Structure 1
Amino acid sequence: MKPFDLAFIGLGAAAMSLVTRLADSRYSGRVALIEPVPDPGDDRTWCGWPMNDHPFSHRATRRWSQWAVSNARDEVTAGSREMPYEMLRSSDVRSVAMAAIAGRDDWVLLAGRALADARKTEDGWRLTLDDQSEVEALWVLDARPPKLNLSRPWVWQSFVGAEISGPRMGDPDQVRLMDFVDDAQPVASFFYELPIDPRRRLIEFTRFTPTPADPAEMREQVDGLIRRRGWQNARVIRTEQSHLPMAPIPGYDRDQWVRIGTAGGSMRPATGYAFHAIQHWADGAAAALLEGRSPPAPTRPGWLDWLDGVFLESLWAGPATASDQFVQLFRRVPPDALSRFLMARGRPLDTLKVLNSLPVAPMLAAAWRHTRRRS
């Protein structure tokens, strides 16, 4: 059998984003998609400030033009009608991608099967799956999460969330991006709330910690907030949880094997945002493949990784310091400039405004520690 042009390992945000573009553009190559989970369900949401329209824009669950960041001492509200905050359910993104895949008779979805072995061939790769079937492909795009051991300043972003439904659930027009909890846990802990409509909202508890946080303990935090709000009788529609590496994962593009998505370094180390960066990468990757060029690996500017390391290093001073820095960041930087910067699409003036908003002495000390640790 003729080899596939592309084989995707893992049908996550990166694979779904690229194959949707390729299908919509009538890409002539043959594609195999290997997904070990038979039915991923509705297990996550992707949020952020979109810089451009993307193939899933019409399936956004909600967009908000107002947001807030707070701690026990202070609160700041901000917003933008030009650059609203966007939420997408993974199930909605998947339905768009699956419809695109189904429209191609020469594409194959191998659900419920995982990669067992890979061997380089003269032209590409021979992949052996766990059912002993084989797939030959010219290029492999691998989205499997890497195994990482993080060291300071890099941290894990662990979160547990519940989408709940009930009467009178508060203001539906303002996102609570961060409501910090000044507890004893390093490096920072906060609640995150997305009011989907007046009767439904997603509540998450997030920790930035040196090692992955305990999901059971974080679930107790979510349940506690729901009780304090008087919503203990609300119906839980779905739950989600994950551990994300807030670290600069290096790109990998070797011997026709490319790592993509978070595995390839698409996630911004200091923020955890990845979905909209993946859209930017997918635009470029689709253009390259349609022109007959090689699929590129995700890239990030080295200076931004260094700056993210300095910022995360500064947060190790303690939870109270971390929460105050975020509050001041959202207070002092204009919303559109900060949104572009957080999405790794900042202009030079945006970056300057962010740097001017941060406390000089602590940031210089963090820069010295981070640079010394890297040398």
Structure 2
Amino acid sequence: MQRAAGTSNSMWSALVSLVILLICVYLYLGVHIVVYSAFTVGLLLMAQVLRQRGRGMSEGFERAVLITGCDSGFGYQLAKTLDSMGFTVFAGCLCSDGHGAQTLAKEGSQRLRVLQLDVTRDEDVRLAKTLVEANLPEKGLWAVVNNAGISDWGETEWNSIEDYQKMADINLFGSIRTSIAFLPFVRASKGRMVFVSSIFAFFNCMNMGAYSMSKRGLEAFADCLRVELSSFDVKVSIIQPGNFGPATNIRTKKTTQEIWDKLDEEHKLIFNRSYIEIANSYFQSSCNAGFKDCRMVIDAMVHALTAPNPKARYLLVSLVERMFFSVFSLLPTVITDAVFTISPIYHKRKAMLYL
């Protein structure tokens, strides 16, 4: 309130100074110069007002945000950023006694609270909801950031049904479970729902079937939710990061032996062990070539939470990748499928399979 009063006083002072200036100009230079000056100043003031509106909410005092997956990576960094901006942060962590959670609790302000929150457990979500409701600031729960997720890679046939279920339960149903539980609070504050997806939600890359399935389902849920919640003035945004493996350490490291041991005898007759070794090396090197800093993602999340008109989607890739995806989405399926034949791993794979 003090900041608002200060802004109002400065505006009145500026207007009084402007009137005095215009009177002086009129006395010395005449009415035409006054009209021109008033018109020019009016345009400048209008531009300033529009600029202020475009900035949106720069501080989060008396507003709360719940973030899932704050043990490390995007969630951890976002919790620290929002805390520094004055938000009341509820940082959901899979391991509330882990290093990331303990660091947040130690280095964060009194507004930051670490929660035990496994998004696959109904009981964890229920207890988190009770704790959040009992500790909401004056303006309530402004937003939920569904960030918790896991990543994995592998040929479609290398994964068991349990692997697919685990991926979907965390990346997809975990977000749905959390969203539904906290939607009444966000709807009451006319706030924001943010979902962390991936480029693999629309880019059907080889060896990413399970992960793509979970993220594509997540975006379908978020898209439907955005249309429904628009009636309540709640905005929904999807974050689509590219390769931020080095920045988040989300990638799963597996040895060739671990992959080989998991296959049954039938699949061992189809997939060459040498191919598995090459594919594993290719995947790890690709992950290591990604962004080493997650600032781009955190800035997009902050914009989605604070801008008056946030984007429905934030595609966070390099300039070259952005150009590629812009063209890729317009191509027919027969061509987009053929794109993968350009990859050297594709030809090595075909040569090594026991066809």
TM-score category (smaller protein): under 0.3
- Structure showing greater relative contact order (alpha-carbon pairs closer than 8 Å, 6 or more residues apart): 1
- Please, what TM-score do these two structures have when normalized by structure 1? 0.25
- Please, what TM-score do these two structures have when normalized by structure 2? 0.26
Decide which structure has greater helix share: 2
Decide which structure has greater strand share: 1
